[in-house]
Each structure stands twice: as C-alpha cells, then as structure tokens.
A = this chain, B = another copy of it.
Amino acid sequence: MSDDLLTIRQMCDAFEVTPRTLRFYEARELLFPQRRGQHRLYGRSDRARLTLILRGKRFGFSLEQIRQLLELYDPAERNITQTEATLATARDRLADMERQHRELGEAIAELRQQIAEGEASLQNLKSDA
C-alpha cells in the first residue's frame, strides 16, 4: 500500500489550488498532512479529502459544513454518542443535497425554456434588421 506522498507544490498542481489554500484548509482542520521536518507531505487520504472538499465547495457548502461531512469518512476515534451526532448531521446534509438536486433539475428545465425563448426573440430581432 505505497502511499506516495506529494509536496505542497505537487498537490497544488494536481488540484489547481494555491499553497495558501491548502494551509488554510489545514488550519480549519480539513486536511492533516504529515510533516517531514518543517515540510508538509500529502498522502492518499489527503487527496481523497481534498477532492471531497472541492466538490462540496462547488455545491455551495461552507468549509465548516464540509468539515463535519469529512468526519463521516474518517477512521477516527469513535464513541457511540459522537458517531450518532456525525450521522445526524450527515443525514441533514443528505437531505439538503437531495432537495438541491431536485431544485436544480427544475431550474435547469426552466433555464432551458428561457434560453429557447431568448433564441426565438433573437431570430425576430435579426429578421427585422
């Protein structure tokens, strides 16, 4: 299970983010790179987490909401109460995402309709010209 480690620069190139962003996520406890001396080294789980972080951001979630979700993917220390709390917030997020998924579907349909109308009125403008 070679866990090929990436430097911060390699991470940035791979995910198109800046070093500042990675250090910021670490400060907010979204990433936990190892240290070799001073330097950070990012392993497999860091890459998986960063993928989820960036996706969560595209959905409009805050970093704090994303952090809570990441707990679910963690092999962290687990007692019953904590696991139940994590599951509860995860179910809340899931409900959010399902609602958003439905709304997004409707919005897409409406936008397609509007674009079609816009294209039609554009044809009118052109034929008048």
Q: Is A80 an interface residue (CB 8 A)?
A: yes
**In the bound complex, CA of A128 to CA of B90 (Å):** 24
The interface bits of chain A over 103-129 (1 if a CB of B lies within 8 angstroms of the residue's CB, else 0) are 111011001101100110110011001
User: Chain A: interface residue count, which band?
Assistant: 35 or more
**In the bound complex, CA of A101 to CA of B98 (Å):** 10
Contact of A104 among B80, B100, B119, B122 (CB under 8 A): B100
**In the bound complex, CA of A121 to CA of B80 (Å):** 9
CB distance from A74 to the nearest CB of B (A): 10
**In the bound complex, CA of A97 to CA of B100 (Å):** 11
With a cutoff of 8 Å between Cβ atoms, the chain B residues found around residue A111 in the complex are 69, 72, 90, 93-94, 97
